[in-house]
Structure 1
Amino acid sequence: MDINRLNEMYIDILKELGNIGSGNAITALSTMIGKKMDMQVPKVKILDFKEVSDIFGSADTIIVGIYFDLDGDVKGNILFALDIKSAASLIWSLMGLEVKEEFDELEKSALEEIGNIMAGSYVASLSTLTSLNIKISPPAISIDMAGAILSVPAIKYGEISDKILFIETQFIEGEKLIKGDFFLIPDINSFDLILKALGVEVNGK
């Protein structure tokens, strides 16, 4: 399937996946921090790799990136990305700690666990909806410029997919607005498999 030709029906299906996955992820996060969190309707788009760093303002913007590899029926990569302010807000909500000049090892570990819960909930929702066996790796965190963080999946999957499924999730805890971005980078065959599992005809099949 040529992902460039995804029509509105495909996008609607992917939006529904984004809504359900993000909703379950926010519920899991609320349980983890013991506080109620509200979620705005996620924005779902298909992006080129080259467009992604623009989401953060520029390729030089420092962000927190939490990586996961996908295996099983679906191959690919998930990146959960947060701007520094949102990451610090999550640390405060979870641990009551104010981040100083940079994140220490304890705070990084907490962010990994938050990413693990968020991505795990999303993948579990995708697996349930598609009946596909999807495995997720342990998290790996990186705090660096957006361009550098995004170069990892681009190099790893650039030869088999130049597209990213982008899910922008904004959630509110108290008066704090926290923005977390999911980037799902399945290989081409996995993208076809996901759509077929959802009953979408791919190339007339």
Structure 2
Amino acid sequence: MSGNHYVINSNSIKQLEIAFKQGATEAGNALTQWIGKPISVHLDSITPVPLGESMNLLGQPDEPVCCCIMHLEGAFRGRLALAFSDESGMALSEMLTGIAGSNEWGELEKSAALESANILGCAFLNAMVQSAASKDIATVLPSPPSFHRDYAMSLLQGLFLEQAMIADRVLFVRTQFFMKGKALVWHLLFIPDTLES
């Protein structure tokens, strides 16, 4: 902990595992209420990996991926990103709008994805802060999510830019989504700013 925010590096990230797990649980609860179908979110990985290996986090580096990204200040600094394939994103939009058959990212589809990212992202962050709270740290300030669609490698390079400038290994928290026990092709990534060198 430093000043009014947590410094997250390879030593401290394990100490915050309970906070990350609580964040994942609350994100699943919020998404269940929003979609109207039972969704669970589980902590998948909080292990530092070499920068090169991180390029495979979202599938093949040369495949298109969609990402709703929130920039964070306050107790936790970094980026929170909801990533998904086109197919998974369209399925989410269909569940929310009731409009089937869409295969393009129009304003309605983007709006459904962004609102979903905002709801589950805020639930994740609030639970993290409450679980790891101290008298000095009580808030996290997320930006409104922004929608991006690009090749997986390009998106990940942008997300890890801050860390890649000072280290050859990157830190991230990854969650996986399940509906009725079946894994969904969605990932929530928390990528902290880190002072590790």
TM-score bin, normalised by smaller chain? 0.7 to 0.9
Q: 2:142 corresponds to which residue?
A: 136
What is the match of residue 19 of structure 1?
A: 21
**Are residues 1:168 and 2:150 paired?**
no
Asked if the contact 2:176/2:183 (under 8 Å) is kept, the reply is: no
What's the CA shift for 1:142? 0.4
Q: Distance in 1 between matches of 2:79 and 2:19?
A: 16
Structure 2 residue runs of 5 or longer lacking an equivalent are: 1-6
Tell me the equivalent position of 1:33: 35
For 1:2 and 1:74, locate their aligned partners in 2 and report how far apart those are by CA, in whole Å.
8
RMSD: 2.7
Identity %, equivalent residues: 22
Q: What is the count of residue pairs matched by the alignment?
A: 184
Which residues of 2 match residues 60-139 of structure 1 at below 5 A? 60-131=62-133, 132=137, 133-139=139-145
Q: Decide whether aligned partners of structure 1 residues 106 and 125 sit closer, same or farther in structure 2, where only a CA change above 3 A counts.
A: same
User: What amino acid does structure 2 have at the position aligned with 1:42?
Assistant: L
State whether structure 2 residue 65 is matched by structure 1 residue 59: no
Cα distance change on mapping 1:157 and 1:30 into 2, 3 Å: same
Q: Which AA in structure 2 matches 1:178?
A: L
Q: Structure 1 residues 92 and 51, CA, compared in 2 at 3 Å: closer, same or farther?
A: same
User: Is contact 2:71-2:79 (8 Å) kept?
Assistant: yes
SS at match of 2:81: strand
Q: CA deviation at 1:137?
A: 0.6
Task: Go from structure 1 to structure 2 and tell me whether the alpha carbon gap of 1:101 and 1:160 turns closer, same or farther (over 3 Å shift).
Answer: same
Higher mean C-alpha deviation, range 62-71 or range 90-99: 90-99
Aligned counterpart, 2:187:
181
Q: Residue by residue, what CA displacement relative to the aligned partner does 1:60-117 show, whole Å, maximum 9, x if unpaired?
A: 1111111111112332111221122221221122112235332111110110010111
Q: Distance in 1 between matches of 2:81 and 2:50?
A: 15
Greater percentage in helix: 1
Q: Deviations over 1:104-139 (max 9, x none)?
A: 111101100101111111110111112232111100
Counterpart-to-counterpart distance in 1, 2:36 and 2:71: 28
Q: Which aligned segments of 4 or more residues in structure 1 are displaced greater than 6 angstroms? A: none
Structure 1 stretches lacking a partner, 5+ long = 192-205
